[in-house]
Homo-oligomer: A and B are copies of this chain.
């Protein structure tokens, strides 16, 4: 029985082993990913991003608890991938795992995996995508991809998600600074966590102002349909204006409402065909990355180290430009 088969059969130990293989990009993981691929594509991928201090991790915990014990309907299986791209040299993305364990321990319907950065950012986004695929094939209904920080790296990692939550909190210093335009652009749902803290109105107001700039065509919604926007979009609406939800992750206030918004976004994606479009775009990027990697490794296999070193020598001596170097290398060997 292959590792992939064991994972498909529900073996959690095999799942953990495969995730390690995936994190190390081992050849075994490549084979397993190919085997799992036909079984993936069903999970709802949810990105959760936002600056440190917003209470993101607690919110992810609370969301998970709510998905496991919903007010109505069946419990769903939840995987959490917690990614920390900002600490290349600490060597461990702990992200409050221990705190989590207390609430979620012993629940076989929840699987948590942390991942620290190891050098290349592209590599991290790729490893995250691969992990998500493993969880997806293993039958998890919801996969929460949590990233620390709020930079370009998080945008890249979140790109894999169907639904992206951007978490803010009152009192994080300068508003303009905390709410980055680039981050807002990728938000499907905005969450103002720590809604019991002072300044929540101000934070929500700042978000609304930035939303109206980011979605100028939807201004009419924000001006005339504030109530409708606040309550979320009507099912079947063509345009999704990111709703803003207030939560208090420490006691679970607003989390049921947030779950409803997440489910509504999934329905919206299916109804408009966006689900399939995002899936396609994602697979296209994956294909392009793999093509690029394969071409490069084939190229390096036919160019000897001696030739390569000689070319770099001449570059350093400025006797050859990079353009001329590539021309020479490719025409000699291809």
Contact = CB atoms under 8 A, between A and B. Distances in A.
A322 B287 contact: yes
A322 B330 CA distance: 26
A56 to B, nearest CB: 13
Contacts of A334: 298
Contacts of A156: 121
Interface string A278-302: 0110011011101110111011000
Interface residues of A, number: 63
Contact of A151 (B38, B152, B283, B318): B152
A182 B152 contact: no
B41 A318 contact: yes
A88 interface: yes
A18 to B, nearest CB: 15
A30 B323 contact: yes
A185 B91 CA distance: 14
A299 B290 contact: no
Interface string A297-334: 01100000000000110011011011111100110001
A30 B322 CA distance: 10
23 contacts: A30-B323, A33-B321, A34-B321, A34-B322, A37-B321, A39-B318, A40-B318, A41-B318, A52-B177, A53-B174, A86-B182, A89-B181, A90-B181, A149-B151, A173-B173, A276-B316, A284-B315, A287-B326, A290-B322, A291-B326, A292-B296, A295-B299, A295-B330
